[in-house]
Amino acid sequence: MSIRKWLLIPLAILFVLASLPTLSFLLYQAAFAGRIYLGVKVLGLNLGGLTIPEAETLLRNEFINYKGCSIVISYGNRHWELSSGEVGATVDYRATAFMAYSIGRQGSWWKQLLCQGTALVRGVNLLPVVTFDRGRALSLLSRIAREVNTPAQDGGLSIRVDLSLEEVQPRDGVEVDVEATLRQVEELIASMQPGEVKLVVNTFPAAIVDTSKAKEQAEKLLKSRLILRFGGKMWAVEPAIIASWIKFSQVPAQDGHIALEVKLDEGGIEDFLQGIAAFINREPLDARFDFDPATGSLTPIIYSRKGYKLKVEEAVSLVKQALLEDREYVDLPVEVLEPKVSVEKAYELGIRELVSKATTSFKGSSAARVKNIKRAAAQFHGLVIPPGEIFSFNRYLGKVTAANGYEDSLIIWGDRTRIGIGGGVCQVSTTAFRAAFWGGYEIIERHAHGYRVHWYEPPLGLDATVYAPMVDFKFRNDTPYYLLIETEVDEKKGTLTFYFYSTPTGRTVEMQGPFLSNHVSHGPPEYREDPTLPKGVVKQVEWAVDGVDVEVRRIVKEGDRVVHRDVFFSRYKPWNAVYLVGTREG
């Protein structure tokens, strides 16, 4: 029994020694229940052993004079000085005390023990909890960012007025990362120490960095000398014009960037060439002839002439090529347009004899109307219509103007006859229509007058009015032979004749009608006051004529085959006599 008692003593001692750490831990926890553990500091201020309210009071007393610290924002050699007060920085004493109290009280029991031991042996120095106005801070940093932010500037080239090159050097863009900078400011403010914060920036490289090749190309082009030529004429292209054609285009470079290269503006070149085309382009001119029925010979009265047309699209390519290859001269590509009727091939026309003829009377016409008839008829004398071609009266007539030799005379305008340029031209179109009618040619377009005109009767229903450009008379030379038109004006007899010469086709023409219907009697005379006539003078200016619908039929045959079967319809309105009654006194 004595031995067992002796053994209990060391066992008890061992038990006590083994229980000391646990007992110490429990005693330490009990001693610091509700208090900050030893070794916990805030910016060197010892808070160990204090309750949260005591720590809050101590912190408030210690930092009561805290006015903030100076913060220097820097970027390169630029600086902006701010105070923590400007961003509304203040110490949160209670939150700081709670933070100090939480040391050694978070995590598992052994993590708490380790943290308490670290604080006790080595100490834990905390930064205070500082709050600030984030919106004010962002506003201040955004203002600085606006001063710093710079968009990337691509390299570029432009041509000055003096035709020298202006080069723009590439420059990387810079953009401040405001959020990243703000985080650094927050850390510095929390330290309650002055310091410097470098702006966090992102850089954006310029897209276009290589302009060397384009510069070399442009300088070469600006020194170019370019002369365009055709048919003994030359056009020098001024350097300023060439400069206007130079465009700088973006192309991918091998290093992943974008380079500039020179492109020549095809649209600009084309516009320039169109100006030259105005001097080059001309329509071919067909020959005109007089025919001698007695000898069957043709005498040229207008010689044929070739036409020219600049091939603009091809010329654009040649101009570009010449500039890029530094060639001085460009021979312009021009299409030669052959006349359809040439003097050299007169013997091939097959003009042998008269195949049709039509005569109308203009007896009693005024001198002005006669002059207009002669002027218009001359436009068709000697004209040759190739096989298959369409004769357009208005095309060959040209513009009916005083400048072209026409005078004022009576014309039909709306519902009355009035004075106008070119009265009498319809005498010519009517005569041409009748020659084509009796020649058996295909009539494409024909319009009747609005009312009956005595110069075009008889027969009724075979007139043709024209009024460029809306109203035309057209026929097609639907024979395999050339057709020569000659005109003759006999002023003594008051007649106009159209002669059609060609190779006979054996066509016969039968006319049926005219067939009249829908007769409408004219109304009573109209009397209109005219202040330009002396009082008591009565002058007739319109003569009464009844209205009527007229149908003329034509059958054209070659042997037994019907070539054309036509119906020409005309509706003539009734026309009242009109008298002007003078009202002028004195």
Two tokens, residue 351 = 């003009």
Residue type, 499: Y
Strand 124-126: give its sheet, edge to edge. 45-46, 40-42, 124-126
Residues 6+ apart with CB under 8 A from 190: 127, 128, 129, 130
Residues in the chain: 586
pLDDT at res. 158: 81
- In eight-state DSSP terms, residue 536 is T
Secondary structure class of 122 (helix, strand, coil): coil
Residue 1 near residue 7, CB atoms below 8 Å: no
Instruction: Report the run of H or E that residue 14 belongs to, with start and end.
Output: helix 2-31
What residues contact residue 220 under an 8 Å CB cut-off, 6+ apart? Answer: 326
Output DSSP code: residue 373.
Answer: H
Q: Which helix (H) or strand (E) holds 290?
A: strand 288-292
Give the bridge partners for 556, in sequence order: 509, 564
**Is there a contact between 409 and 368 (Cβ–Cβ < 8 Å)?**
yes
* 122, 433, 450, 568, 574 from 516: Cα distances, Å: 133, 20, 16, 12, 14
Q: pLDDT at position 419, please?
A: 61
Per DSSP, the residues of 399-458 read --SGGGT--EEEEEETTEEEEEETTTHHHHHHHHHHHHHHHTPEEEE----SS--GGG-S
Burial class (CB in 10 A: 0-12, 13-18, 19+), 351: buried
Q: Tell me the two tokens of residue 550.
A: 């007229």
**Where along the chain do its domains lie?**
1-29, 32-151+177-199, 212-248+260-343, 349-584
Burial of 113 (0-12, 13-18, 19+ CB in 10 A): middle
The CATH topology of domain 212-248+260-343 is Ubiquitin-like (UB roll) (3.10.20)
* Rounded CA Rg of the chain: 55
Confidence at residue 410, expressed as pLDDT on a 0 to 100 scale: 54
| Rounded CA separation 443/568 (Å) | 10
Residues of the chain with pLDDT under 70: 1-22, 24-25, 65-68, 155, 207-209, 255-256, 409-420, 586
Cis peptide before 194 (omega within 30 of 0): no
pLDDT value at residue 360: 97
CA separation for the pair 87, 81 (Å, rounded) = 12
- Alpha-carbon gap, residue 541 to 416, rounded angstroms: 10
What does DSSP assign to residue 408?
E
Within 13 Å of residue 439, how many CA atoms lie on the same side as its CB? 31
Report d(CA 286, CA 563) in Å as an integer: 29
SS3 content of the chain, % helix, strand, coil (to 5): 30, 35, 30
Angstrom distances, CA of residue 139 to CA of 86, 91, 145, 178, 197: 11, 21, 10, 10, 16
Q: What is the pLDDT of residue 215?
A: 83
